[in-house]
C-alpha cells in the first residue's frame, strides 16, 4: 500500500525563497505543497483551513515571527510538524525550544531537506499510533560555544535557577538553558519535584532527607556529592511524596 503524501505549507516573506523551497519540495517524492504564506498571521489562517502535515517555516519575518507562529500552532488542535528554514543559524536553540522537529539553514541542500522530511514522516507515524498521547520533550537544548547540546531529560539530576538562566546538572556535567524553572516544573511534573524556590530535583535521584544539627533539611541525591537544601515551604510536600524517607 502506497504511503499517503506529505502535505506541506511554505511560510516565508521572501518571494524568491518561496519559489526555491517549492521547487525543492516538489522534487521530493511523496510531497504535496498545499500553498504558501508570507507571514505568521497568514500561516495560522492557512493552517486552520488546509490542515497541513508539516509547515516549512522561516523565522525572521515582519509582524509575527516564525518562533511565535510555531508556539501558536503547537498550542492549537492537531498541530502540524514544524521544520524551520532560515538564513541564520543563531536561532537554533529557540527553534528546538519551540518544539521544531528540524532546523534547516539556507541555502537548503536537497539531501538535507530529504532527511528533514523523513524525520517528519517518522514523527507523524508515531503520533498516529498514539493519538491521545501528549507530545513530551525527551531532551532539553543548551547552547555550547555556538553549537547545541541535546541533554536527555532522563539524564538530568537536578535543575537550579540562576538569575535568567537555569543550570541543568546532568550525567555529563552542567549546562545553562534559557527556560523558566516554573515552566519546566509544569511540563515535567511527573519527573521532577521542587525542593526549594530555585531548585527542582529528579524524583528518582532522592535517596533520603537529612536534618543537620542546625535544623536545616537537605536532600541527599544518588549521583550528587553535596546534599541540596530543602526549604520549609517544600518540606511537607516532599514528605508526603516520599513517605518512606
Domain limits, the chain: 6-129, 139-241
Options 2.40.50.1020, 3.30.43.10, 3.30.460.10, 1.10.3720.10; CATH for 139-241 is: 2.40.50.1020
In the chain, which stretches have pLDDT less than 70? Answer: 1-2, 89-98, 129-136, 145-147, 242-245
Per-residue pLDDT tens over the stretch 226-241: 999 999 999 988 887 7
Please report, rounded to a whole number, the percentage of residues in the chain having pLDDT higher than 90: 56
Q: What are phi and psi of 21, to 5 degrees?
A: -65, -40
The pLDDT score that the predictor gives to residue 146 is 61
Written in H, E and C, the secondary structure of the chain is CCCCCEEEEEECCCHHHHHHHHHHHHCCCCEEEEEEECCHHHHHHHHHHHCCCEEEECCCCCCCCHHHHHHHHHHCCCCCEEEEEECCCCCHHHHHHCCCCEEEECCCCHHHHHHHHHHHHHHHHHHHHCCCCCCCCCEEEEEECCEEEEEEHHHEEEEEEECCEEEEEECCEEEEECCCHHHHHHHCCCCEEEEECCEEEEHHHEEEEEECCCCCEEEEECCCCCCEEECHHHHHHHHHHCCCC
Say if strands 206-211 and 199-202 run parallel, antiparallel, or are unpaired: unpaired
pTM: 0.56
The pLDDT score that the predictor gives to residue 153 is 93
Per-residue pLDDT tens over the stretch 97-132: 567 888 898 999 999 999 999 999 998 988 776 545
Q: What CATH code would you report for 6-129? A: 3.40.50.2300
Amino acid at each position: 500500500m502506497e504511503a499517503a503524501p506529505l502535505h506541506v505549507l511554505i511560510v516565508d516573506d521572501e518571494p524568491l525563497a518561496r519559489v526555491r523551497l517549492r521547487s525543492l519540495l516538489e522534487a521530493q517524492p511523496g510531497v504535496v505543497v498545499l500553498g504558501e504564506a508570507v507571514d505568521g498571521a497568514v500561516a495560522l489562517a492557512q493552517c486552520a483551513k488546509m490542515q497541513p502535515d508539516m509547515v516549512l517555516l522561516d523565522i525572521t519575518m515582519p509582524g509575527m515571527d516564525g518562533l511565535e507562529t510555531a508556539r501558536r500552532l503547537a498550542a492549537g488542535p492537531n498541530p502540524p510538524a514544524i521544520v524551520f528554514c532560515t538564513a541564520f543559524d543563531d536561532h537554533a536553540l529557540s527553534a528546538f525550544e519551540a518544539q521544531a522537529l528540524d532546523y534547516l539553514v539556507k541555502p537548503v541542500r536537497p539531501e538535507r531537506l530529504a532527511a528533514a522530511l523523513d524525520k517528519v514522516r517518522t514523527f507523524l507515524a508515531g503520533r498516529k499510533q498514539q493519538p491521545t498521547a501528549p507530545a513530551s520533550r525527551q531532551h532539553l537544548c543548551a547552547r555550547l560555544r555556538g553549537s547545541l547540546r541535546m541533554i536527555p531529560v532522563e539524564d538530568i539530576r537536578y535543575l537550579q535557577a540562576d538569575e535568567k538562566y537555569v543550570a541543568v546538572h546532568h550525567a555529563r556535567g552542567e549546562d545553562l538553558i534559557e527556560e523558566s524553572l516554573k515552566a519546566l516544573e509544569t511540563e515535567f511534573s511527573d519527573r521532577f519535584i521542587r525542593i526549594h524556590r530555585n531548585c527542582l530535583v529528579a524524583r528518582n535521584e532522592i535517596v533520603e532527607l537529612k536534618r543537620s544539627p542546625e535544623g536545616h533539611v537537605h536532600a541527599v541525591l544518588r549521583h550528587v556529592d553535596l546534599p541540596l537544601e530543602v526549604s520549609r515551604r517544600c518540606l511537607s510536600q516532599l514528605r508526603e511524596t516520599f513517605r518512606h524517607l
